[in-house]
Amino acid sequence: MKNKYLSNPDYNFEKVNRASMACGPMVKWAIAQIEYADMLKRVEPLREELRSLEEQADVNLQSANETKELVEQLERSIAAYKEEYAQLISQAQAIKTDLENVQAKVDRSIALLKSLNIERERWECTSETFKSQMSTIIGDVLLSAAFIAYGGYFDQHYRLNLFTTWSQHLQSANIQYRSDMARTEYLSNPDERLRWQANALPTDDLCTENAIMLKRFNRYPLIIDPSGQATTFLLNEYAGKKITKTSFLDDSFRKNLESALRFGNPLLVQDVENYDPILNPVLNRELRRTGGRVLITLGDQDIDLSPSFVIFLSTRDPTVEFPPDICSRVTFVNFTVTRSSLQSQCLNQVLKAERPDIDEKRSDLLKLQGEFRLRLRQLEKSLLQALNDAKGKILDDDSVITTLETLKKEAYDINQKVDETDKVIAEIETVSQQYLPLSVACSNIYFTMDSLNQVHFLYQYSLKMFLDIFSTVLYNNTKLDGKTEYSERLSIVTKDLFQVCYERVARGMLHNDRLTFALLMCKIHLKGTSEQNLDSEFNFFLRSREGLLANAIPVDGLTAEQIESVNRLQTRLPIFRKLIEKLKSMPEIGAWLQQSSPEQCVPQLWDESKALTPIVSSIHQLLLIQAFRPDRVIAAAHKVVDAVLGLDFMPNAEKELDLAAVVEKQLNCNTPALLCSVPGFDASGRVDDLAAELNKQISSIAIGSAEGFNQAERAINMACKSGRWVLLKNVHLAPQWLVQLEKKLHSLQPHSGFRLFLTMEINPKVPVNLLRAGRIFVFEPPPGIRANLLRTFSTVPVARMMKTPSERARLYFLLAWFHAIVQERLRYVPLGWAKKYEFNESDLRVACDTLDTWIDTTAMGRTNLPPEKVPWDALVTLLSQSIYGGKIDNDFDQRLLTSFLKKLFTARSFESDFALVANVDGGAGGQRHITMPDGTRRDHFLKWIENLSDRQTPSWLGLPNNAEKVLLTTRGTDLVSKLLKMQQLEDDDELAYSVEEHAEAANASATRQEDGRPSWMKTLHNSATAWLELLPKNLPVLKRTVENIKDPLYRYFEREVTSGAKLLTTVISDLQDVVLICQGEKKQTNHHRSMLSELVRGIIPKGWKRYTVPVGCTVIQWITDFSNRVQQLQKVSKLV
């Protein structure tokens, strides 16, 4: 079918179906059947093969299942074996781990036991210390709390005394306390102290104690800070908290206060001596809590108070006295520098300059010692923390072992370093000892400068000024150039320190006071040298008239006063024990006493058993001159200064002031120059000339009116910005305004070129702070008639003197001569005048006005006025009774003044041979006269004045030539009196503030009372005992009867005896109290403190001055005089 039909191409469905619709499907079916049959034929073998393969596959599948089951069985066996193996391995590992853990625990336990065994000694010691601390904690806390609450106001020595007294009270109450407690270490830790030092706090104990108070206060601190060290420290300490500095004079004070209260910024209020009550609620902590807010009322406003708010009050005036209401609100903290504190600061500075290697070692040592203690403390804390944080068993915590190992290692390193520091300490101590005398001298010099206000109110010096001097000597000293030997450099620095200090201080002193300061410098210098101790000699020089003199040995040729002085000298100083014997064996003594300059050849009247240095010899000569020729004490004192400090020491300061060099090298924009002068002397011209010389712009303002104040403030504000100079004249006329000016200058930050000059007359009302802040220069007119005449002619205008009539100039000359005589005689009080009258330039101006008025009235415009027409009587009367005589209250002085006027103001003064002064040399017959210059023009008189001699004898003033001797004697007495005033409580400041001394004071109070007394107290005790022996025990009161009461003379003597008896009782009672106080058996009252202060300085106590005594009378002179008066009254009481 396939070949026959299907091979035919026409045999298909389309064509058959076209031919027959019935056959088409049949053909299609037939074709399909044939193709199907053909397919079956070809597929059948494959089916057979498939069946065969399927059968074979079934066999293989069965075989595979069997194999798979076998593999699964084997795998299950392997898994079981693996699990068993793993369990065995795990058990083995666990056993190994257990072994390792046990070994580690054993190692840890051994290490722990070893480390703890090493630490055991320290911990046991700490434990014992803790037990000891716990046993004394009540007393320690009481002492510390009392110290913080009450000790801040006092200086270093009084703090020690307070602490000792408190300790004795605790001891009497059987309360235990640590006798060796160091307050700085008990109340602060090393890291705090290191931080404070890094913030510019001085390293001495006083400042550290003050820093503790500034941290631990309850009441806000009020800081007494004359040197500014506390201010610098606080600004550094609280710089991170944005501390604000302000004052009550600041216009934004209230704004700053409100801001600090709200936001908690620290606030430093300076110059609080002018207290503003707006601070009362703050100091009282008057807080209110409302709805979770803490409020404080400031004025009429409620302000939120930040819990971090803190306020510090400070003043630079150490003399200010705050009222009790302020004292009760604040904690006082006194940063006033002490001797030991300044000594430490100066030692640090000189080591930095001269031995930077030692200073670096020293600083590193101090730092390391603090770091060692701090690190050890931190390690101990970390160990305790590790032990506290240990979880589970302590042997399982590696951190504990690690901490212990670290502690052990670092503790060992620390101990090694501490051992190494011993060598460094020894080296530092050796070098420091070489520079210690210099630092001691620095401290003594500053405190001597600080005490000079006892001599004159003008002498006020700040610590900054002294430190500037010291810095200049160390760093700007050309004499050190090329010098490498340490000892040589030290000698130069020491010498220049004394020289520069004296020069700068002397420029601001009155001429008569300079020798006082020079002698004080000598005394300081001798303490730092190998010279023998001369305290006894200096003390005798000051107190040569004190003490009893039982039986004076007479000496021929000497006055009673000289005999008394010689006996005292022989009795009180061993080196003069053969003085009277030598005097009697030297007939030439009389000639020596009559010499004009006996100090140049003083005989050796002291013990010659051993050779003496020139310095010691000069001091012995001074004592002899004081005894024999008190008028030459000043000259002998100059010789002592020359011997101790060199011949050029004082003359260098006498040179003319180079104001340009001072302004350039010694002044800065923050230091005003104070040009002080005696009345009638104007120094402002020097500043104007200097500004012109240096081509500086300067603003000059005269002070004295409200307009002047405003101009001055504007000029200062502008000059501070531009760098100009400002000159304020006559500022003594506005002392209250000067207070505000000083505070303003303190707060300014001026341009570096700014300079402020203040001219003033010497006036006690000038603020102390201004004097301390500036450089003082004193200008005095030279003494003598010639200088006085020149000064008068310079103040009277030429046109005024040359007005008609032509005789006016001659009358002006007579008035100038009379004014010179009147003023120069004041130097010779009580010979020149009975007392010190205030004759000044104002009297001269009024006298000139009076003269002009009368001459103009008499001349009536004429060019000439005959001498006889001059109103001499009117001029003499007005000058003697009103202008000059109005100040005189002594009849003899009044007659003396009138006689001078009548002698000068006469018609004879127009004669060419008119003698202004007759017999000026004291020779017989008037061998030399000072005659009136011939002429009527100012030029004639001025030329005559310039030709006058600079050296004038007292006879020019109408005084005997020996008046100069009286003047010099008075000056010598004044010198001793000034030196005696400087004898303040120096020993109190010199007592070192140390733990050893504290322990000694606490444990041996009896010894302290007797042996620890300062020398002033021992001297005063001896003097008071001697004075009590000098005074009579009592004064019998007169018995009144009916008859004698009627006698006026009896009533007079009765009043005198009664007054004398009352005063004698007062004096004896006071002296007995002084003796008991000096023995430590009586407490001081305010009356006693005032009296002790006066007696130490040789001043008569106010309560004893019930009758008039000479000016400058010392205590011993008064006691002697009073004793004589009482003895006289005793004789009177027996006779009446």
Q: Model confidence over 622-671: pLDDT tens digits? A: 999 999 999 999 999 999 999 999 999 998 888 888 888 899 888 989 89
Q: How far from 441 is each of 466, 493, 498, 520, CA to CA, in Å?
A: 12, 12, 9, 12
The model's pTM? 0.78
Q: What is the mean pLDDT of residues 456-470?
A: 92
- Contact criterion met (CB below 8 Å) for 561 and 606: no
Distance of alpha carbon 504 from alpha carbon 467, whole angstroms: 13
Rounded to the nearest angstrom, the gap between the alpha carbon of residue 774 and the centroid of all alpha carbons in its chain is 15
Distance of alpha carbon 573 from alpha carbon 580, whole angstroms: 13
pLDDT for 505 = 95
Task: Work out the angle at residue 402's Cα, subtended by the Cα atoms of residues 398 and 407, and round it to the nearest 5 degrees.
Answer: 150
pLDDT for 111 = 72
Rounded to the nearest angstrom, the gap between the alpha carbon of residue 330 and the centroid of all alpha carbons in its chain is 22
pLDDT for 1085 = 87
Q: What is the mean pLDDT of residues 45-55?
A: 89
Distance of alpha carbon 587 from alpha carbon 556, whole angstroms: 10
Distance of alpha carbon 922 from alpha carbon 943, whole angstroms: 26
Highest mean pLDDT among 812-816, 1005-1009, 1107-1111, 1116-1120: 812-816
746: buried, middle or exposed (CB in 10 Å: 19+, 13-18, 0-12)?
middle
Amino acid at 860: M
434: buried, middle or exposed (CB in 10 Å: 19+, 13-18, 0-12)?
middle
Residue 332 DSSP code: E
pLDDT for 394 = 66
Res 994 pLDDT > 50: no
Contacts of residue 429, Cβ cutoff 8 Å, sequence gap at least 6: none
List, for residues 1017-1046, the tens digit of each pLDDT value.
887 888 889 889 888 888 888 888 888 788
List, for residues 133-179, the tens digit of each pLDDT value.
888 899 999 999 999 999 999 887 788 888 888 999 999 999 999 88
Neighbour count for residue 980 (Cβ, 10 Å): 18
Q: Is 1012 helix (H, G, I), strand (E, B) or coil?
A: coil
User: In DSSP terms, which residues pair with 1078 in a beta bridge?
Assistant: none
Res 303 pLDDT > 50: yes
Residue 782 DSSP code: P
Contacts of residue 322, Cβ cutoff 8 Å, sequence gap at least 6: 222, 273, 275
Q: Report whether the peptide linkage leading into residue 830 is cis, meaning its omega lies within 30 degrees of zero.
A: yes
Three-class HEC string of 173-192 = CCCCCCCCCCHHHHHCCHHH
Query: What percent of the chain is predicted at pLDDT more than 70?
Result: 93
Q: What is the mean pLDDT of residues 476-500?
A: 91
Class of the CATH domain delimited by 1012-1135: mainly alpha
- Contact criterion met (CB below 8 Å) for 624 and 540: no
Distance of alpha carbon 156 from alpha carbon 205, whole angstroms: 9
Please state the domain extents for the chain. 13-132, 204-336, 337-481+503-507, 482-502+511-654, 672-779, 785-951, 1012-1135
Q: How far from 745 is each of 270, 433, 585, 741, 755, CA to CA, in Å?
A: 13, 41, 68, 6, 11
Q: Which two tokens stand for residue 587?
A: 């007939």
Determine which of 99-108, 175-184, 768-777, 817-826 has the lowest per-residue pLDDT on average. Answer: 99-108
Res 528 pLDDT > 90: no
pLDDT for 395 = 66
Q: What is the mean pLDDT of residues 192-209?
A: 85
Res 1009 pLDDT > 70: no
Distance of alpha carbon 490 from alpha carbon 502, whole angstroms: 18
Res. 988 pLDDT band, cuts 50 70 90:
very low
Q: Which two tokens stand for residue 312?
A: 């510090």
Q: Is the dihedral of CA 117, 119, 120, 122 positive or negative?
A: positive
Res. 996 pLDDT band, cuts 50 70 90:
very low
Res. 222 pLDDT band, cuts 50 70 90:
very high
Res 927 pLDDT > 70: no
Res. 794 pLDDT band, cuts 50 70 90:
confident
- Contact criterion met (CB below 8 Å) for 851 and 811: yes
pLDDT for 998 = 40
Distance of alpha carbon 772 from alpha carbon 226, whole angstroms: 10
pLDDT for 596 = 86
Task: Please name the residue ranges forming H helices in 452-586.
Answer: 463-475, 486-506, 511-527, 535-542, 560-572, 579-584
Distance of alpha carbon 940 from alpha carbon 912, whole angstroms: 13
List, for residues 359-373, the tens digit of each pLDDT value.
777 777 766 766 776
Amino acid at 305: L
Q: How many CA atoms lie within 13 A of 25 on its CB side?
A: 2
CATH architecture of 204-336: 3-Layer(aba) Sandwich (3.40)
Distance of alpha carbon 673 from alpha carbon 726, whole angstroms: 10
Determine which of 53-62, 263-272, 949-958 has the lowest per-residue pLDDT on average. Answer: 949-958
Distance of alpha carbon 483 from alpha carbon 494, whole angstroms: 14
- Total number of residues shown for the chain: 1136
Query: Torsions phi, psi of 804, nearest 5?
Result: -70, 150
List, for residues 411-449, the tens digit of each pLDDT value.
777 767 767 777 788 888 888 889 999 999 999 999 999
pLDDT for 816 = 93
Query: What percent of the chain is predicted at pLDDT more than 90?
Result: 35
Query: In the predicted model, what is the mean pLDDT of the chain?
Result: 85
pLDDT for 250 = 84
pLDDT for 607 = 81
Q: Which two tokens stand for residue 119?
A: 């630490």
Res. 21 pLDDT band, cuts 50 70 90:
confident
267-270, strands of its sheet edge to edge: 244-247, 267-270, 311-315, 221-224, 331-334
For 372-401, give the DSSP string: HHHHHHHHHHHHHHHHHH--S-GGG-HHHH
Residue 1039 DSSP code: P
Determine which of 226-235, 520-529, 1016-1025 has the lowest per-residue pLDDT on average. Answer: 1016-1025
Distance of alpha carbon 588 from alpha carbon 1012, whole angstroms: 47
Contacts of residue 966, Cβ cutoff 8 Å, sequence gap at least 6: 631, 828, 831
User: Residue 490: which of 436, 553, 551, 563 has the closest Cα?
Assistant: 436
Q: What is the mean pLDDT of residues 256-275?
A: 91
Contacts of residue 128, Cβ cutoff 8 Å, sequence gap at least 6: none
Same fold, 204-336 and 672-779: yes
User: Residue 345: which of 213, 464, 480, 430 has the closest Cα?
Assistant: 464
Question: Any idea which fold 785-951 has?
Answer: Helicase, Ruva Protein; domain 3 (1.10.8)
* Structural element, H or E, at residue 334: strand 331-334
Question: Any idea which fold 672-779 has?
Answer: Rossmann fold (3.40.50)
pLDDT for 1112 = 65
Distance of alpha carbon 542 from alpha carbon 525, whole angstroms: 18
Res 349 pLDDT > 60: yes
pLDDT for 949 = 79
User: In DSSP terms, which residues pair with 760 in a beta bridge?
Assistant: 676
Strands 915-918 and 929-931: antiparallel
pLDDT for 999 = 37
Tokens 């000029």 correspond to what residue? 715
Res. 935 pLDDT band, cuts 50 70 90:
confident
* Structural element, H or E, at residue 743: helix 735-747
Highest mean pLDDT among 517-521, 789-793, 867-871: 517-521
